[in-house]
Structures are given as structure tokens and as C-alpha cells.
Structure 1
Amino acid sequence: MSTNQTSEHNYGLIRWLTYLMFMMFAMTSDSVGEIIKEVKIEFAVTNTQASLMHSLFMIGIAFSGLFLGFLADKFGRKKTLILGLALFAISCYLFMVGSTFAFILSLVTLSGLAVGVFKTAALALIGDISRSTKEHTGTMNGAEAFFGVGAIIGPILVAWLITQGVHWTWLYVIAGGLCTVLICMALMVEYPQSKAIKEKPTNLVDSLKLLKDPYALGFSFGAFLYVAAESAIYVWMPSYLICDANSASDIYSCYANESTQTLAIYAVSVFFALRAVGRFVGIWMMQHFEWTKVLLLFSFMIMMCFVVGLIAGQTLAVFLFPLSGIFMSVIYPTFNSKGISCFEKRQHGSVAGVILFFTAAGAAAGPFIMGVVSDANGGDAKYGFVVATGFSILLFLGLLYNAIAQPTRERLAMIEKREYGVPQHT
């Protein structure tokens, strides 16, 4: 086998390994809405307290992304990837011995730190195996598509475990087992070596300087707004779609027929299914259409789903909120890809960490603020979705400016020529 064939073979293995990593951790992170319902009963906690299951996980990712994102640039993708996966597996296995709410929250935080380490390495690795910024965006959408698959599997698995009388913490044990398999796979794959990283290694100070860069900040704020709106769906939509929280028999009584009631029960899974399908379509769309216009159109549709679903109430929100998954599909992976592609490959781990910090901050702050606002208004999730709708409006306005002003066009063209203009070597 020739050197080029070997490289392509390794790149293919790396690409699939990255996809599987995204799928694995999505099984836990995007099951949180279903888990929160169980946690509230098991530990007798409020909406605000239960939302810490999500917020602390995201805070762990945020801290790790900002302060540990440079590890992938300094010590290499492979070592950093395995370190993060090992920490995640350990945190998952420790759920077998946890019995208090405080201990569970500490494990959730540790798993968030671990995800931040291996995700920044994986995101940087995508740049190493990409031959253009367009291919980078396509691969990123592919990774997020598999994330969407994991997000479908996770909530279904939690629901099945509970119906079988198995405790929800076994979801983490299963994820830990998958993570162990991925570690073994990562150890056997040959990774591309970056000459630029060796010659000009990035450190923490260099990483923190990116907080002043307008390109890093622009995409980071966009990611914050998007994830704050997205997490509202999978964290609080189950609570919003309940008609009467005080009566188990009337919990879905406001829906006209049995099929609509069934949709309300499985709305989170439908949302993730539509988001996953949309991301596979997004791989094709980003190769054939101008990305700024696609994001503008999709953000407008997200905003309309939120606005109409909030004003009309549960009877329309049960359709519109899950439907928003289709339009959310391409936004985050494109933010990630274009944001990272605005920088040299030697900085990809660091800039991925900065974007991940704001991503996790949005995912932590959004649902937490919604929980606080809901509790302040008698526990009604409707008031929390007023906040989420505001996030969707700001996201649309930001992408409207992006489509009109095209602030990244010259920067992306320069990086395309400098970083992807010659064949990549292993």
C-alpha cells in the first residue's frame, strides 16, 4: 500500500473514531431531560437544583475548553484524546457507587471536564485530516450527525432502562464501556503529525489571548446563543409539554388525540431524530450552498418555531418545538468549523477550546436561567421559554449581520490558501 493510500486509510479510521466519540458522549449529555425527571423524584429537588445535572456538566466542559484546550496543540491530538476518554470512562464507572445527589453532581462535573479535553482534541484532529475549509465543514457536520444519533439512542435507552426496573445511572456505565472500546481503538490508529505544532507549540497564555480575537469571539457568541436555545428544547420541553403537572392521569389531557399525546411523550426523541437527519442533509447542503445564507434561513425558522410555539401554547408547540431540530441541524457544526478554520492548524485545539467554553456556558446558563425564571413564576416552564425565545431572536439577528456584512470572507480565503494550499503529510 502506498503512502498516500496509508494516509487515506488512517484518515478514514480517524474520521470514524471521531464520529463514534461524538455519538458516545451524546448518549449521556442529551439524555439529561429524561434523567432530570427521575432525579427530581429520587432526590426531591426543585427545578433549579435538578438543572445542575446539566449546568455543572457544561461548566466542566467550559472550564476544560478554556484552560485545557491548548493541550491538544502542545502535547498532540492522540495523547490528549486518550487522556480525556480515560477520565470520562472513570467518571462513568463511578456512577455505580454514587448514592447521594452531591456525589452524582461531582461525577457529572468530572465527566464534563473529561469531555472538554477529548472534544477539543477531536475538533483539532478534524482540521489535521481535512484538505480544505469546505471539507472541514462537511466532516464537522458528519461528527455532529453522529452526535445526533447518540442523542436519539440515549433518551430511548434511559426510558427503556426505567421501564425494565433498572436504575438510570446504568446509562453512564454503558457509556463508560463504549468509551473503553474507543480508547483501545485510538491506541491502534496512526495519527497525522503536524510540523507547525512542533515548531510553534501553543501554551495556555496563547490560548487565552484568543479571547481578544474578533473571529474567535464572534463564532463563540454565536455558539452561546445557539446552544442556549437548543438546550431549552431537550432540557425543558418535556416539562413545558405537560398539561397538568399535578395530576398523573391528566398530564397530556390538553392534546386532541392519542397520536398527539404520543408525540408529546416522545417529543425529545423526535427532536433529536429530526436534528440527526438534518445534519446528514447539512453535509450535502454545505458543499453546495453559501453557508451564511443557509444559516440565516435556518435561524429564522428556529426563531419562528419558538415564537409561535410559545404564543400558541402546547397544542402547537408539540409540533413546532421538535420540528426546530431540522433547522438547528447545521448551525452549531458550521459555527465550530468556520470558527476553527479562521486560524492556523497549530491553534485549532486552542480555538476549539474557546468556542467550546462559550458553547458549554450557553448550555449551562440557558437552562439554569430558564429554571430560575420558571420557579419564580410558580414552576411554569412557559416563562422559561420566554427566555429561550429571546436567545433565538438574538441568534437570528447575529446571522443576519453575518450574511450581509460577510466579516469572515477574507480571513477564510487567506487561511484556505495558507493552510490547505499544499498536500498534508503524515
Structure 2
Amino acid sequence: MSRSRTILALILVYMVFAVLMNSVGTVILQSIQSFGVSKAQAGTLEGFKDIPVALASFLLASMMPLVGYRRGIVIALVLVAAACAVMAMAEAFWATRLLFVCIGAAFGLVKVAVYASIGLLTDDRRSHASLTNVIEGFFMVGMWAGYWLFAAFIDSNDPGRLDWLSVYWVLIGICLLAALAIATSPLDESAARNQDEPITEGFLNMLRLTLRPLVLVFVLSAWLYVLIEQSIGTWLPTFNNEVLKLPSAVSVQMGSLFAGALAIGRLAAGLVLRVVPWHRLLAFCVVAMAALVLATLPMAADVAEGQVTGWSDAPAAAYLFPLIGLFMAPIYPVINSVMLSALPQHRHAAMTGLIVIASALGGTTGSMLTGVLFGAFGGQTAFYLSLLPMAAILVALHGFRRQVERNAAAPG
């Protein structure tokens, strides 16, 4: 019962950060309309979010066992609640940057704590992979809910109005509820420390991990995956609005199809992986992603202004393109689980720090690059160019599989 309670608390925390982290696409669209900023300026919000994620993970991940995972999560949630209050009251673009700096730094702590806690709550590689997929699946459920939560506060008839900022008062309440849930949940964190090693060695151990070929290939794979996911997820509401000509609120709502596809894909992956080897599943997923891009983006051409007023008359591309999330979904949690399962528990916090750093840098690169391409060549071309990192990750995953097999065959 105590284990289930802790897992539920971790899921709630992760869902809160799913809403906050993935709100950047909606906030980009609303910042362009409410604050009059350019696409290039709005695209920097991903950097304001992801660079603090990387810095927090790099500087603090190895110290998390000393601070305590639950305590670190509570601190992160309180910080974000305060930033949401500033965002709601300031009504200015600078506040969005401050908000995402705080969200990013907080998520850097939370992700390390959640992933390390999974190792404490599971006994073997199979259960680790299963719980990782479940928690990451609910992250996508939170992401899906976030689209609808924000859309409820957007006025499509006057999208430049600042009424949408009221959503942050709701998010403050959810953050404080999650903080209470995790603070009152039991978790034995003693196994997270190596009792024979000073905590001060943790930072150096994280750096030493990067010298291992297995870790290097994994980091490249994770970086490429997040680059693809964030380039699509962040700019999908703007793509819906400017290329498919959907109203602002509907553009955000239909972005939830991508999040829903990711959630279904990750939850289903736990079942599929029982009968299909992980490397075969992931190779199929990458090929299917590329096929969907080639099949659906031509449908987005030449949509007339004012032709779409709601879900019922949206073009087929608005429904079909977000299904790329179904195939994208298993990649990230699977490679994370395979990597962490290859290490002892007292290395999980340091390794998770590297995971978060690679993810943050990939997200920043993908979002900012897509923003530049979107502004220069249009949304269709920007999304077509996602085929390049898809080809690269297919090669990287093959290398990762070979390194995993070598690591398993190595003595000791």
C-alpha cells in the first residue's frame, strides 16, 4: 500500500510538470498574439526552459541523495508555484522567461528524483522498464490535459487578450497539492547512496560516466529523440494556427492529439515489450514516424483562410500528423530504462542527471532551430526537415544496442 501511494504521488508530481514543461508551445503562440513578439523571440522560451534544466541537473543531480528526493521535489514545486504567481500578475513577456527558468530548474531536480525513485521502488530490469513506461505515460496524460486546461482560458475571438494568464492561479493550487502528496508519502532512500563513497564524489562520478562508450551513444540517442519530440510538440499549436488556419483555441486543443498519442503509445509499449525485443520495436517506430511525416504533410498544403472554424471542419492533417506520437512514444522511456538498468542504484542519480542534460539540450536545439526554420521557410518545410534527425537516431539506436550487448557480455 505504501509503495502504491508513493508511486501515485510521483505520478501526480510528474503530471504537474508535464503541464508546465509542455505549455511552452501554447505560451509561444499566446506570446506572439498577446505580447507582439516575433517567432524568433518566442522560440527562445524553449532555451529559457531547457538550459536551466541542464544546469540544475549538472550541478545538483549528484547531490540529490544527500538533499533527499522527496525534499527536493517539494522545494521544486514551491519554486514553480511562486513563479506562476509572478506570471499571473506581471502580464509581460519577461515574466514568461522567468517562469520557464524556474520551471526548468525545478524539473531538473524533479526528474532526477523521480527516475532515481523508480530504482528504489523496483527489483529488476523488467519491473523497472514497466514502471518507467507507466510514469512517462502519465507524463503524457498530463501534457494532454495541459492543452485543454490552457485552451479553456483562451478567447479565439480575441486571442490577444490576457485572460489566459488566469490559468496560472489554477496551476498554483495543483502544485501545492502535489507538494503535500509527495511530502506525506513514504520512501526509503537509503539504498540510493553508496555507503563507502563520500557524497562529494558524486559529481565526479557523473563526469566519469561520460567516458563510457555505452553512455556516450545513449546520450546521443536521447539528445536526438528530444530534439525531434520538442521540435514537433512545441511548434504544433503554431503550425495548426498558421499553416492549417485553425482558430487559436482549437489549435491548442488539437495539439492535445499529439500528447494523447504519446500517452497511449507509452502505456501500450509496456505490453508490446513483453513479446517484442526493445531494439526491434524502436527501429520500427522510427521508420513509421518518417512514413507518417511523408504521408501527412502534403495534406497541409493550400488550406484557405477562414475555412476552418472548429474540429468538425479541420483538415485531415490536423488529425493524422499528431499520430506520430504513437510511434515516437516508446523510444525515450525504453532507452532510459535500458541505460539505468545497466548501472547500480547508487549511480542512478548521476546517470539521470546526464539524461536530463541531454534532453534539455536536445529540446532547446529542436525548438529554436524549428522556430528559425518556421519563420524563414514555413511550417511544412520545418516539419519535413525532422526527417534528418529521424535518420540519425535510427543509426544511433543501432549503436546503442551494440554497446548494451557488449556491456552485458563484459565480466563483472
* Structure-2-length-normalised TM-score: 0.87
Cα offset, 1:239, TM superposition: 3.1
AA partner of residue 342 (structure 1): A
Give RMSD over aligned pairs.
2.7
Separation (CA, whole Å) in 2 of partners of 1:413 and 1:263: 52
AA partner of residue 138 (structure 1): S
Residues 232-271 of structure 1 correspond to what in structure 2 (within 5 A)?
232-242=231-241, 251=245, 266-271=253-258
Residues 2-401 of structure 1 correspond to what in structure 2 (within 5 A)?
9-163=1-155, 167-195=163-191, 197-199=193-195, 200=197, 201=199, 202-242=201-241, 251=245, 266-310=253-297, 313-314=300-301, 317-377=317-377, 380-401=378-399
Quick check: 72-81 or 355-364, which moved more?
72-81
Separation (CA, whole Å) in 2 of partners of 1:44 and 1:166: 12
Cα offset, 1:154, TM superposition: 0.6
Separation (CA, whole Å) in 1 of partners of 2:374 and 2:264: 31
Which residue does 2:308 correspond to in 1?
Answer: none
Cα offset, 1:139, TM superposition: 0.5
Cα offset, 1:195, TM superposition: 4.1
Separation (CA, whole Å) in 2 of partners of 1:388 and 1:306: 8
Aligned length: 392
Cα deviation code 1:143-201 (max 9, x no counterpart): 11111111111111111111397732333332222121122122222211334615123
* Gapped regions of structure 2 (runs ≥ 5): 302-314
Separation (CA, whole Å) in 2 of partners of 1:136 and 1:41: 43
Cα offset, 1:203, TM superposition: 2.6
Quick check: 142-151 or 230-239, which moved more?
230-239
Separation (CA, whole Å) in 1 of partners of 2:351 and 2:390: 24
Separation (CA, whole Å) in 1 of partners of 2:56 and 2:294: 34
Cα deviation code 1:384-412 (max 9, x no counterpart): 22432211221122224445xx3213535
**1:409 and 2:396 correspond:** no
Cα offset, 1:107, TM superposition: 2.0
Cα offset, 1:281, TM superposition: 0.8
Cα offset, 1:242, TM superposition: 4.7
Separation (CA, whole Å) in 2 of partners of 1:127 and 1:271: 29
Separation (CA, whole Å) in 1 of partners of 2:48 and 2:167: 18
SS in 1 for 2:193: helix
Cα offset, 1:366, TM superposition: 0.5
Cα offset, 1:121, TM superposition: 0.8
SS in 1 for 2:153: helix
Separation (CA, whole Å) in 1 of partners of 2:355 and 2:133: 16
AA partner of residue 337 (structure 2): S
Which residue does 1:5 correspond to in 2?
Answer: none
Cα offset, 1:29, TM superposition: 1.8
Quick check: 53-62 or 151-160, which moved more?
53-62
Separation (CA, whole Å) in 2 of partners of 1:193 and 1:265: 40
Which residue does 2:310 correspond to in 1?
Answer: none
Alignment CA distance shift 1:391-1:172 (3 Å)? farther
Alignment CA distance shift 1:243-1:211 (3 Å)? same
* Structure-1-length-normalised TM-score: 0.84
Separation (CA, whole Å) in 2 of partners of 1:59 and 1:173: 25
SS in 1 for 2:367: helix
The answer to whether the Cα contact below 8 Å between 1:53 and 1:108 also exists between their aligned partners in 2 is: yes
SS in 2 for 1:287: coil
Cα offset, 1:348, TM superposition: 0.7
Cα deviation code 1:191-237 (max 9, x no counterpart): 11334615123532222222323222222211111111111222222
The answer to whether the Cα contact below 8 Å between 2:228 and 2:389 also exists between their aligned partners in 1 is: yes
Alignment CA distance shift 1:114-1:186 (3 Å)? same
Cα offset, 1:103, TM superposition: 2.8
AA partner of residue 184 (structure 2): M
Quick check: 300-309 or 17-26, which moved more?
300-309
Separation (CA, whole Å) in 1 of partners of 2:30 and 2:243: 18
The answer to whether the Cα contact below 8 Å between 1:233 and 1:321 also exists between their aligned partners in 2 is: no
* Gapped regions of structure 1 (runs ≥ 5): 1-8, 246-250, 254-261, 419-426
AA partner of residue 176 (structure 2): T
AA partner of residue 185 (structure 1): A
Separation (CA, whole Å) in 2 of partners of 1:402 and 1:33: 31
The answer to whether the Cα contact below 8 Å between 2:213 and 2:403 also exists between their aligned partners in 1 is: no
Cα offset, 1:110, TM superposition: 1.5
SS in 2 for 1:190: coil
SS in 2 for 1:191: coil
